[in-house]
Structure 1
Amino acid sequence: MNLFSGTLSTLEQALNYSSLKQKVISQNIANADTPNYKAKDTSFKEAFQSALGESVKANKSDIRHYDFKIGSSPVQGIVTRRNASYNHNGNSVDLDKEMADLATNQIYYNAVIERVSGKFSSMQNVLRGGK
Structure 2
Amino acid sequence: MLDKLDTMIGFHRQALNLRAQRQQILAANIANSDTPNYQARDIDFRVELTKAIEQHQVKRQTAIGLHVTSPQHIQVNLPQQFSPDALYRIPFQDSADGNTVDMDLERMAFMDNSVHYQGSLTFLGEQFKSLMSVLQQG
Question: Does the alignment reach a TM-score above 0.5?
Answer: yes
- CA RMSD in angstroms comes to 2.1
Q: Which has the higher helix share?
A: 2
Matched, 1:111 2:119: yes
Q: Which letter maps to 2:36?
A: P
For the structure 1 residues 105 and 18, does the alpha-carbon distance in structure 2 shift closer, same or farther, using more than 3 Å as the test? same
In the alignment, which residue of structure 2 is the partner of 1:123?
131
Matches within 5 A, 1:44-55: 44=45, 45-53=47-55
Tell me the equivalent position of 2:99.
Answer: 91
Q: TM-score, normalised by structure 2?
A: 0.71
How much does 1:9 deviate? Answer: 1.2
Identity across matched positions, percent: 30
SS class of match (1:36): coil
| Unaligned residue ranges in structure 1 (runs of 5+) | 56-74
Distance 2:51 2:4 in 1: 25
Letter in 2 for 1:115: F
**What is the TM-score of this pair, normalised by structure 1?**
0.74
Give me the whole-angstrom Cα distance separating, in 1, the residues matched to 2:92 and 2:100: 6
3-state secondary structure, aligned to 2:5 = coil
CA spacing shift, 1:15–1:46, aligned 2, 3 Å: closer
CA distance in 1, matches of 2:91, 2:116: 27
CA distance in structure 1 between the partners assigned to 2:87 and 2:49 by the alignment: 11
Tell me the number of residue pairs that the alignment of Structure 1 and Structure 2 aligns: 111
Q: Give, in whole Å, the separation in 1 of the partners of 2:102 and 2:37.
A: 13
| Aligned match of 1:64 | none
User: 2:86 aligns to what?
Assistant: 78
**Consecutive aligned runs of 4 or more in structure 1 exceeding 3 Å deviation:** 82-86
Task: Tell me which amino acid in the other structure corresponds to 1:10.
Answer: F
Encode CA deviations 1:80-124: one digit per residue, 9 max, x unaligned: 125655421000000011011111011101110011101100111
Q: Deviations over 1:5-42 (max 9, x none)?
A: 61211110010111011001100011111111110001
